[in-house]
Structure 1
Amino acid sequence: MRDVVADVYTPLLAAGVFWMVYRSGFMRAGAVFLPVSLLLVFIFSALDTYFGFWRSWGLDFSTHSAILIPFYQMLLVLMFLPDENVSEPAFCWKARLRQGAALIAALISGAGYGVLMIELNYHTLADILTTLISIYPLVWICFHLLRPVAFAYNQPEEKL
């Protein structure tokens, strides 16, 4: 049963994040940020497979953990996006509360997923932590650099 939970966690997280992106009205941002940052994660994983960085340290790169970072980052971005198109401040407050709750739930479930990976002997805590520490800066830079592209529809053409 624990194997099944481990297998469905990431698809459920992805579906939940896509739902939050859709509900927030920032589909373009999700369509730009997520594929590019996920591609970066897989390129990083392929480079590790080729060069064996983690193996040389006696560790294993945790693609299971790395793939979660873009989804968590997207939830974080949704919490701080400007809501210029929203006329009701109450909706804005409710949306932020819902997005914050989703981020907290995702992080707590992610910690549980990490414990599950350790119990199932997929990875060690060191595998997971070194992967997260190395991947998060790449994903953050990706989100930061792509921000003008993702939100281009909010700006006049002269600013692009």
Structure 2
Amino acid sequence: MMHLLAIIADLYTPLLIFIWLFYLYQEGATRGAEIKVLLLSLLLVYTVMFLDNYFNIWATWELDYSTHSGLALIFVVNLTWRNKILRLFAPLSLLVYCCLMLKLNYHSFADILTTLLVLLPALLYWQKGLKN
């Protein structure tokens, strides 16, 4: 059973990317801006990861920065702005994914929460800029 859950967890982010690409190619007018925001968001997630690895920021509190949560959050934030259905299901899917990571002991609740809280303000700001 745990093996199946691990496979599901491994497929979550690729599924989000596939859905994001589907919507990206439907909305050609904003494609360039969407890709810039994606690249900026990826840069943020990995910069925080490198800073954490170098300065042991999360380890100071006996936590672990969750790159998996950060990557998923990028796509969830973007998909949330797409339509009413995704506004409900994208965050719900992230919640289920976080529960799955807890069940599999990939990360603690505090690991996931602190990662999301650090990244979310910038991701929301950039995403909101796309829609204005």
TM-score with structure 2 setting the length: 0.86
Could you say what secondary structure the match of 1:14 adopts? helix
From 91, 110, 114, the equivalent of 1:126 is 110
From 5, 17, 20, the equivalent of 2:20 is 17
For 2:67 and 2:81, the matched residues in 1 are separated by: 22
Identical amino acids, percent of aligned pairs = 37
CA contact (8 A) 1:33 1:74 kept: no
Q: Does 1:49 align with 2:53?
A: yes
* Higher mean C-alpha displacement, 112-121 vs 65-74: 65-74
Deviations 1:84-122 (A, max 9, x none): xxxxxxxxxxxxxxx221232121111111011001000
Q: Where do 5+ consecutive residues of structure 2 fail to align?
A: none
CA contact (8 A) 2:9 2:100 kept: yes
Larger Rg: 1
**Between Structure 1 and Structure 2, how many residues are aligned?**
127
From 63, 76, 80, the equivalent of 1:59 is 63
For 2:50 and 2:43, the matched residues in 1 are separated by: 10
Could you say what secondary structure the match of 1:67 adopts? helix
RMSD across aligned positions (CA)? 1.8
Deviation of 1:23 after TM superposition, in Å, equals 1.7
Q: Where do 5+ consecutive residues of structure 1 fail to align?
A: 79-98, 152-160
CA contact (8 A) 2:80 2:91 kept: no
Q: 1:128 to 1:8 in 2, by over 3 A?
A: same
TM-score with structure 1 setting the length: 0.72
For 1:30 and 1:56, the matched residues in 2 are separated by: 35
Deviation of 1:73 after TM superposition, in Å, equals 2.2
